[in-house]
Chains A and B, each alone.
Chain A
Amino acid sequence: MNAVFKPLLVRPARLLAGLPLLLALVAWQQPESAPLGYGIGDAVADFRLKNVDGRTVSMADFPKAKGAIIVFTCNHCPFSRAYEDRVIALNQRFLSQGFPVIAINPNDPAAYEEDSFENMKARAKEKSYSFPYLADETQSVSRAFGATRTPHVVVIKREGDKFMVQYIGTIDDNSQDAGGVTRRYVEDAVNNLLAGKPVGLNTTKSVGCAIKWKNV
């Protein structure tokens, strides 16, 4: 299942080593196309981001959590909007079982005014988000997680004092019609983890809105 990510991991390094002439091309491509992030089984570094309620949130704030469902999402993206109610339902279902939803907006608000912190607050209020909705202002957390688009989900599980990546991908197999879903990837993954079983299918892809990175 990891195979799809391997070319992304290998290619930039090869280009850098063997073909210095392509450096310029790689340099402008890399920030937008292929941030290299955590893979399955990797430990996640804790993060501290600003929530729509004004406070900051980190994994350390969830001492009893067995894990978390981290959702990279935003206001403007139609695919994110299509999944909004399903993200709310995931938190309602799994918060009490120790897997809270933590939503993170990775976008540069300069690219989409709709994704500004003020508009994040408005959206969270309008839809009564029962989970944190965090602004990744430096985009460093999104890069660490290898997020490239919204929506994008990473399920992590506590092992001792660490959180390990268990699932990377999409929520289910039908973004445009919640009623037509036949496979619930995230639900299945979390249910398997709660039952002490392997996740099963641990990597999926979906169409989404490319994350707008700040020019660095």
Chain B
Amino acid sequence: MLLISLDFEAPLKSRVLPFGKSRRLSCCPVWLLDETDQNAFIGRVNPTWNGGLPATLIVNPGQGRRKLLSTPLNFNQLRVELSHFL
């Protein structure tokens, strides 16, 4: 699992990193995407993504499949979605 923060760069040290610590996100790499031209990259992440956060992209390179879920997911919803990819 890869977590990508779309927070602004300015509060990285004051807010983003402490948030990651408080939520114990040490499980996985956390990247901060600091690309300002969103209109250019959103469609490249997935053509169906509307840009809404949170968004989850499930990728199975072996099957060449990916699915973008542009909605908050609880644990069970995520489990169900993942099960289609296993």
A and B form one complex: yes
| Contact status of A175 and B38, CB under 8 A, knowing A78-B7, A207-B6 | yes
Which B38-70 residues have C-beta < 8 A from chain A? 38-39, 42-43, 47-55, 69-70
Cβ A210 vs Cβ B36 within 8 A: no
Report whether B50 and A205 are in contact in the complex, using a CB–CB cutoff of 8 Å. yes
A130 at the interface (CB under 8 A from B): no
Q: Is the CB of A206 within 8 A of B38?
A: yes
Main DSSP-derived SS at the A contact region: mixed
Instruction: Please indicate the chain B residues that have their CB under 8 angstroms from the CB of A209 in the complex.
Output: 52-53
Count residues of chain A with CB under 8 A from any CB of chain B: 30
Residue of B nearest to A150 (CB): B52
Bound-state Cα–Cα, A173 to B42, Å = 12
Most chain B CB within 10 A, of A8, A28, A32, is at: A32
User: Judging by beta carbons under 8 Å apart, are A176 and B9 in contact?
Assistant: yes
Contact A149-B71, Cβ < 8 Å, known A4-B43, A205-B42: no
A174 within 8 A of B: yes
Q: Which of A33, A169, A174 contacts B70 (CB 8 A)?
A: A33
Contacts of B71 in A (CB 8 A): 29, 32-33, 210
Given A78-B8, A148-B50, A210-B52, check contact A204 B39 (CB 8 Å): yes
The residue in chain B whose Cβ has the minimal distance to the Cβ of A203 is B39
Q: What 16 new A-B contacts, CB under 8 Å, besides A148-B50, A176-B9?
A: A4-B43, A28-B77, A33-B70, A34-B48, A82-B8, A170-B38, A170-B51, A173-B39, A175-B36, A205-B49, A205-B50, A206-B42, A206-B51, A207-B52, A208-B51, A209-B52
